[in-house]
Amino acid sequence: MFGKKRKMNSPEKGDIDISDHQYNPYLAARKEWDERYGELITRETNWRRMALLCAMIAVLAVAGLFYIGAQSKIQPYIVQVDGFGRQVGVGFVQGQPGITDAVRKATLTKFVTDLRSVVSDGIVQRQMIERVYAHISNGSPAQAQISDYYRADPPQQRAQTQIVTTDIVAAFAPSPSTYEVEWIETTRNTSGKVVDETRWRGNFQLVESKPSDMALVSLNPLGIYVTNVAWSKVNR
Protein backbone atom coordinates (compact mmCIF):
# COMPACT_ATOMS: atom_id res chain seq x y z
CA MET A 1 0.00 0.00 0.00
CA PHE A 2 2.67 2.43 1.10
CA GLY A 3 5.20 1.06 -1.32
CA LYS A 4 3.04 1.82 -4.37
CA LYS A 5 4.13 4.95 -6.20
CA ARG A 6 1.59 7.52 -7.41
CA LYS A 7 1.74 8.08 -11.12
CA MET A 8 1.92 11.77 -12.06
CA ASN A 9 -0.19 12.94 -14.96
CA SER A 10 1.96 14.00 -17.90
CA PRO A 11 1.43 17.56 -19.17
CA GLU A 12 -1.12 17.98 -21.88
CA LYS A 13 -0.04 18.95 -25.34
CA GLY A 14 0.44 22.73 -25.55
CA ASP A 15 1.08 23.20 -21.82
CA ILE A 16 4.45 24.48 -20.69
CA ASP A 17 6.51 21.93 -18.93
CA ILE A 18 8.24 23.90 -16.20
CA SER A 19 10.49 20.94 -15.61
CA ASP A 20 11.94 21.32 -19.09
CA HIS A 21 15.44 22.69 -18.64
CA GLN A 22 15.27 24.54 -22.05
CA TYR A 23 12.41 26.87 -21.05
CA ASN A 24 13.49 30.49 -20.31
CA PRO A 25 10.82 32.90 -19.08
CA TYR A 26 12.79 35.96 -20.26
CA LEU A 27 13.11 34.67 -23.80
CA ALA A 28 9.45 33.73 -23.82
CA ALA A 29 8.46 37.23 -22.69
CA ARG A 30 10.68 38.82 -25.33
CA LYS A 31 9.17 36.63 -28.00
CA GLU A 32 5.67 37.57 -26.93
CA TRP A 33 6.61 41.32 -26.90
CA ASP A 34 8.05 41.04 -30.41
CA GLU A 35 4.93 39.36 -31.64
CA ARG A 36 2.62 41.97 -30.11
CA TYR A 37 4.55 45.23 -30.68
CA GLY A 38 7.21 44.45 -33.24
CA GLU A 39 4.78 44.69 -36.14
CA LEU A 40 3.55 48.08 -34.93
CA ILE A 41 7.11 49.40 -34.71
CA THR A 42 7.88 48.07 -38.17
CA ARG A 43 4.80 49.77 -39.60
CA GLU A 44 5.68 53.06 -37.92
CA THR A 45 9.22 52.91 -39.31
CA ASN A 46 7.91 52.24 -42.79
CA TRP A 47 5.48 55.18 -42.55
CA ARG A 48 8.30 57.47 -41.46
CA ARG A 49 10.39 56.41 -44.42
CA MET A 50 7.42 56.94 -46.74
CA ALA A 51 6.80 60.43 -45.31
CA LEU A 52 10.48 61.37 -45.75
CA LEU A 53 10.43 60.12 -49.33
CA CYS A 54 7.28 62.15 -50.10
CA ALA A 55 8.86 65.27 -48.59
CA MET A 56 11.95 64.82 -50.77
CA ILE A 57 9.79 64.37 -53.87
CA ALA A 58 7.83 67.53 -53.01
CA VAL A 59 11.04 69.56 -52.59
CA LEU A 60 12.37 68.33 -55.93
CA ALA A 61 9.04 69.11 -57.61
CA VAL A 62 9.01 72.68 -56.26
CA ALA A 63 12.62 73.20 -57.30
CA GLY A 64 11.79 71.91 -60.77
CA LEU A 65 8.85 74.30 -61.08
CA PHE A 66 11.05 77.26 -60.14
CA TYR A 67 13.66 76.18 -62.68
CA ILE A 68 11.10 75.75 -65.44
CA GLY A 69 9.44 79.05 -64.59
CA ALA A 70 12.78 80.86 -64.86
CA GLN A 71 13.27 79.65 -68.42
CA SER A 72 12.04 81.91 -71.20
CA LYS A 73 9.40 80.14 -73.23
CA ILE A 74 8.34 83.07 -75.42
CA GLN A 75 9.88 83.27 -78.87
CA PRO A 76 8.71 86.22 -80.97
CA TYR A 77 7.44 85.36 -84.43
CA ILE A 78 7.63 88.12 -87.02
CA VAL A 79 5.47 88.45 -90.11
CA GLN A 80 6.67 91.03 -92.62
CA VAL A 81 4.17 92.67 -94.97
CA ASP A 82 4.54 95.09 -97.83
CA GLY A 83 2.69 98.36 -98.41
CA PHE A 84 -0.37 96.49 -99.65
CA GLY A 85 -0.60 94.27 -96.58
CA ARG A 86 0.68 91.17 -98.38
CA GLN A 87 2.92 88.75 -96.52
CA VAL A 88 6.49 88.89 -97.80
CA GLY A 89 8.43 87.16 -95.04
CA VAL A 90 8.03 85.23 -91.80
CA GLY A 91 10.38 83.85 -89.20
CA PHE A 92 11.47 83.69 -85.58
CA VAL A 93 13.61 86.34 -83.95
CA GLN A 94 17.16 85.05 -83.62
CA GLY A 95 18.83 86.53 -80.55
CA GLN A 96 18.59 90.07 -79.18
CA PRO A 97 19.45 92.72 -81.79
CA GLY A 98 21.62 95.62 -80.70
CA ILE A 99 20.63 99.28 -80.86
CA THR A 100 21.43 100.57 -84.32
CA ASP A 101 22.59 104.03 -85.30
CA ALA A 102 19.22 104.71 -86.91
CA VAL A 103 17.45 103.93 -83.63
CA ARG A 104 19.74 106.29 -81.72
CA LYS A 105 19.07 109.07 -84.23
CA ALA A 106 15.32 108.53 -84.07
CA THR A 107 15.37 108.58 -80.27
CA LEU A 108 17.50 111.71 -80.17
CA THR A 109 15.42 113.63 -82.71
CA LYS A 110 12.27 112.82 -80.73
CA PHE A 111 14.08 114.03 -77.61
CA VAL A 112 14.95 117.36 -79.28
CA THR A 113 11.38 117.78 -80.55
CA ASP A 114 9.93 117.23 -77.07
CA LEU A 115 12.53 119.50 -75.50
CA ARG A 116 12.20 122.53 -77.75
CA SER A 117 8.52 122.45 -78.78
CA VAL A 118 5.79 124.45 -77.04
CA VAL A 119 2.14 123.41 -77.38
CA SER A 120 -1.09 124.93 -76.10
CA ASP A 121 -2.34 121.70 -74.49
CA GLY A 122 -0.99 121.58 -70.95
CA ILE A 123 -1.40 117.81 -70.62
CA VAL A 124 0.53 117.16 -73.83
CA GLN A 125 3.24 119.60 -72.76
CA ARG A 126 3.63 117.80 -69.43
CA GLN A 127 3.92 114.46 -71.22
CA MET A 128 6.64 115.90 -73.45
CA ILE A 129 8.58 117.11 -70.42
CA GLU A 130 8.24 113.69 -68.78
CA ARG A 131 9.67 112.01 -71.88
CA VAL A 132 12.56 114.46 -71.90
CA TYR A 133 13.53 113.68 -68.30
CA ALA A 134 13.09 109.96 -68.93
CA HIS A 135 15.93 110.21 -71.48
CA ILE A 136 18.31 112.16 -69.22
CA SER A 137 20.86 110.33 -67.10
CA ASN A 138 20.40 111.06 -63.40
CA GLY A 139 23.12 113.28 -61.93
CA SER A 140 24.56 114.11 -65.34
CA PRO A 141 25.37 117.64 -66.58
CA ALA A 142 22.44 117.34 -69.00
CA GLN A 143 20.01 117.06 -66.11
CA ALA A 144 21.18 120.35 -64.62
CA GLN A 145 21.37 122.08 -68.02
CA ILE A 146 17.85 121.16 -69.07
CA SER A 147 16.40 121.95 -65.64
CA ASP A 148 17.94 125.44 -65.90
CA TYR A 149 16.49 125.78 -69.41
CA TYR A 150 12.98 124.97 -68.22
CA ARG A 151 13.28 127.34 -65.25
CA ALA A 152 14.49 130.21 -67.42
CA ASP A 153 11.73 129.77 -70.01
CA PRO A 154 8.85 127.62 -68.69
CA PRO A 155 6.98 126.18 -71.69
CA GLN A 156 3.62 126.27 -69.85
CA GLN A 157 3.90 130.05 -69.43
CA ARG A 158 5.22 130.62 -72.94
CA ALA A 159 2.27 128.67 -74.36
CA GLN A 160 -0.05 131.47 -73.19
CA THR A 161 1.29 133.76 -75.93
CA GLN A 162 3.35 131.59 -78.32
CA ILE A 163 3.43 128.16 -79.91
CA VAL A 164 6.73 126.64 -81.10
CA THR A 165 7.05 123.80 -83.60
CA THR A 166 10.34 121.97 -84.12
CA ASP A 167 11.38 120.46 -87.45
CA ILE A 168 14.49 118.27 -87.56
CA VAL A 169 16.78 119.08 -90.49
CA ALA A 170 19.70 116.67 -89.97
CA ALA A 171 21.24 114.30 -87.45
CA PHE A 172 24.63 112.58 -87.65
CA ALA A 173 27.28 111.14 -85.35
CA PRO A 174 30.75 112.74 -85.35
CA SER A 175 31.82 110.03 -82.87
CA PRO A 176 30.28 106.79 -81.53
CA SER A 177 28.82 108.51 -78.44
CA THR A 178 28.25 112.06 -79.72
CA TYR A 179 25.51 113.19 -82.09
CA GLU A 180 24.90 116.50 -83.78
CA VAL A 181 21.37 117.60 -84.59
CA GLU A 182 20.13 120.59 -86.56
CA TRP A 183 16.55 121.81 -86.39
CA ILE A 184 14.33 124.76 -87.25
CA GLU A 185 12.03 126.34 -84.68
CA THR A 186 8.95 128.15 -85.95
CA THR A 187 7.26 130.47 -83.48
CA ARG A 188 3.61 131.47 -83.92
CA ASN A 189 1.32 133.66 -81.87
CA THR A 190 -2.01 132.45 -80.52
CA SER A 191 -3.73 133.34 -83.79
CA GLY A 192 -1.33 131.11 -85.76
CA LYS A 193 0.74 133.85 -87.41
CA VAL A 194 4.46 133.13 -87.78
CA VAL A 195 6.44 135.66 -85.78
CA ASP A 196 9.89 134.07 -85.86
CA GLU A 197 11.86 131.25 -87.49
CA THR A 198 15.32 130.25 -86.28
CA ARG A 199 17.80 127.48 -87.06
CA TRP A 200 19.60 125.67 -84.22
CA ARG A 201 22.44 123.19 -83.90
CA GLY A 202 23.07 121.02 -80.86
CA ASN A 203 25.59 118.44 -79.66
CA PHE A 204 24.41 115.56 -77.50
CA GLN A 205 26.38 112.86 -75.73
CA LEU A 206 24.60 109.51 -75.28
CA VAL A 207 25.00 106.43 -73.14
CA GLU A 208 23.04 103.18 -73.16
CA SER A 209 21.90 101.53 -69.96
CA LYS A 210 19.06 99.20 -69.02
CA PRO A 211 16.26 101.14 -67.27
CA SER A 212 16.34 100.45 -63.51
CA ASP A 213 12.92 101.93 -62.78
CA MET A 214 9.86 100.11 -64.14
CA ALA A 215 8.10 103.48 -64.51
CA LEU A 216 10.70 104.48 -67.13
CA VAL A 217 10.31 101.36 -69.25
CA SER A 218 7.29 102.73 -71.11
CA LEU A 219 9.01 106.11 -71.66
CA ASN A 220 12.52 104.87 -72.45
CA PRO A 221 12.41 101.11 -73.14
CA LEU A 222 15.74 101.05 -75.02
CA GLY A 223 17.68 102.75 -72.24
CA ILE A 224 19.19 105.55 -74.37
CA TYR A 225 20.19 108.46 -72.11
CA VAL A 226 21.57 111.94 -72.78
CA THR A 227 24.47 112.88 -70.50
CA ASN A 228 25.54 116.26 -71.92
CA VAL A 229 23.92 118.88 -74.17
CA ALA A 230 24.97 122.09 -75.85
CA TRP A 231 23.05 124.06 -78.48
CA SER A 232 23.33 127.40 -80.21
CA LYS A 233 21.54 129.42 -82.84
CA VAL A 234 22.84 129.15 -86.39
CA ASN A 235 23.31 132.48 -88.14
CA ARG A 236 22.05 132.44 -91.71
Task: Locate the domains of the chain by residue range.
Answer: 101-234
pTM: 0.61
In CATH, which of 3.40.50.300, 2.40.50.140, 3.90.220.20, 3.10.450.230 is domain 101-234? 3.10.450.230
Q: Residues near 209 by Cβ (< 8 Å), separated by ≥ 6?
A: 137, 223, 225
**Where is average pLDDT lowest: 84-88, 91-95, 181-185, 231-235?**
91-95
Q: What percent of the chain has pLDDT over 90?
A: 47
Q: What is the DSSP string of 147-169?
A: HHHHHHS-HHHHTTTEEEEEEEE
- For residues 96 and 57, which has the higher predicted lDDT (pLDDT)? 57
- 59 vs 116: CA distance, rounded Å: 59
Band of the pLDDT at 69, cuts 50, 70, 90?
Answer: confident
